[in-house]
Structure 1
Amino acid sequence: MSSLNPKTYDSVPPRKLAFLGLGVMGFPMAGHLAKAGHSVTVYNRTAAKSAAWAAEFGGHSAATPREAAAGADMVFCCVGNDDDLRSVVLGDDGALAGMAPGAVFVDHTTASADVARELSKAAQALGLQFIDAPVSGGQAGAQNGALTVMCGGDPATFEAVKPVAMAFSRAVTLLGESGAGQLAKMVNQICIAGLVQGLSEAIAFGQRAGLDMEAVLGVISKGAAQSWQMENRGKTMIGGKFDYGFAVDWMRKDLGLVLDEAKRNGARLPVTALVDQFYADVQQAGGARWDTSSLITRLK
Structure 2
Amino acid sequence: MDKKAFLGMGLLGSNFVKAMAKRGESVQVWNRTTAKAMGLEQFGATAFADVKEAVQGVTRIHVTLKDDVSVDEVLEAASAGFTPGAIIIDHTTTSKEGVIRRTAYWKERGVTYQHAPVFMGPANALDSTGYMLISGDEALIKTLEPELKPMTGKLIHYGPEVGKAASIKLIGNAFLVCFAFGLRDMMGVAKAQGVGVDDILKLFQDWNPGAQADARLKRLSMDDHTNPSWELAMARKDTQLFLDSAQQNNIQLSLLPAIAGVMDQWIEKGFGNNDWTIVGKDFS
Shorter-normalised TM-score: what interval? 0.5 to 0.7
Paired residue for 1:31, among 1, 11, 18? 18
Identity of aligned residues (%): 26
Paired residue for 1:41, among 21, 28, 35? 28
Deviation of 1:215 (Å): 3.3
Provide closer, same or farther for how the CA distance between residues 223 and 155 of structure 1 changes in structure 2, counting only shifts above 3 A: farther
Question: Residue by residue, what CA displacement relative to the aligned partner does 1:17-69 show, whole Å, maximum 9, x if unpaired?
Answer: 10000011111111111211211001111111111111x21121223332222
**Counterpart for residue 278 of structure 1:** none
- For 1:128 and 1:119, the matched residues in 2 are separated by 10
After the TM superposition, which residues 219-258 of structure 1 pair with which residues of structure 2 at under 5 Å, given as runs? 219-226=203-210
**Counterpart for residue 81 of structure 2:** 98
- For 2:74 and 2:64, the matched residues in 1 are separated by 10
Paired residue for 2:137, among 134, 145, 154? 154
> Is 2:33 the partner of 1:50?
no
Deviation of 1:212 (Å): 4.2
Question: Residue by residue, what CA displacement relative to the aligned partner does 1:227-264 show, whole Å, maximum 9, x if unpaired?
Answer: 7xxxxxxxxxxxxxxxxxxxxxxxxxxxxxxxxxxxxx
- For 1:35 and 1:126, the matched residues in 2 are separated by 34
- The structure 1 segments of at least 4 consecutive aligned residues displaced by more than 3 Å after TM superposition are 221-224
- For 1:174 and 1:129, the matched residues in 2 are separated by 18
- For 2:58 and 2:195, the matched residues in 1 are separated by 57
One-letter amino acid matched to 1:62: F
Q: Is the 8 A contact 1:79 1:109 kept in 2?
A: yes
Question: Secondary structure at the residue paired with 1:102?
Answer: coil
Paired residue for 1:190, among 174, 184, 201? 174
**Segment drifting more, 144-153 vs 32-41:** 144-153
- For 1:28 and 1:186, the matched residues in 2 are separated by 22
> Is 2:111 the partner of 1:122?
no
Provide closer, same or farther for how the CA distance between residues 200 and 25 of structure 1 changes in structure 2, counting only shifts above 3 A: same
Deviation of 1:206 (Å): 2.3
Question: Secondary structure at the residue paired with 1:156?
Answer: helix
Deviation of 1:86 (Å): 0.8
Paired residue for 1:201, among 170, 173, 185? 185
Q: Is the 8 A contact 2:15 2:123 kept in 1?
A: no
Deviation of 1:97 (Å): 3.2
The unaligned stretches of length 5 or more in structure 2 are 212-254, 260-284
After the TM superposition, which residues 278-297 of structure 1 pair with which residues of structure 2 at under 5 Å, given as runs? none
RMSD: 2.2
Deviation of 1:102 (Å): 2.7
Deviation of 1:221 (Å): 4.3
TM-score (norm 2): 0.68
One-letter amino acid matched to 2:174: I
- For 1:15 and 1:34, the matched residues in 2 are separated by 13
Q: Is the 8 A contact 2:61 2:89 kept in 1?
A: yes
Mark the structure with the bigger radius of gyration.
Answer: 2
TM-score (norm 1): 0.65
- For 1:135 and 1:52, the matched residues in 2 are separated by 24
- For 1:59 and 1:162, the matched residues in 2 are separated by 23
One-letter amino acid matched to 1:215: D
Provide closer, same or farther for how the CA distance between residues 181 and 37 of structure 1 changes in structure 2, counting only shifts above 3 A: same
**Counterpart for residue 57 of structure 2:** 71
- For 1:221 and 1:108, the matched residues in 2 are separated by 34
Q: Is the 8 A contact 1:43 1:65 kept in 2?
A: yes
- For 1:162 and 1:178, the matched residues in 2 are separated by 17
Q: Is the 8 A contact 1:101 1:126 kept in 2?
A: no
Deviation of 1:222 (Å): 4.4
Q: Is the 8 A contact 1:129 1:157 kept in 2?
A: no
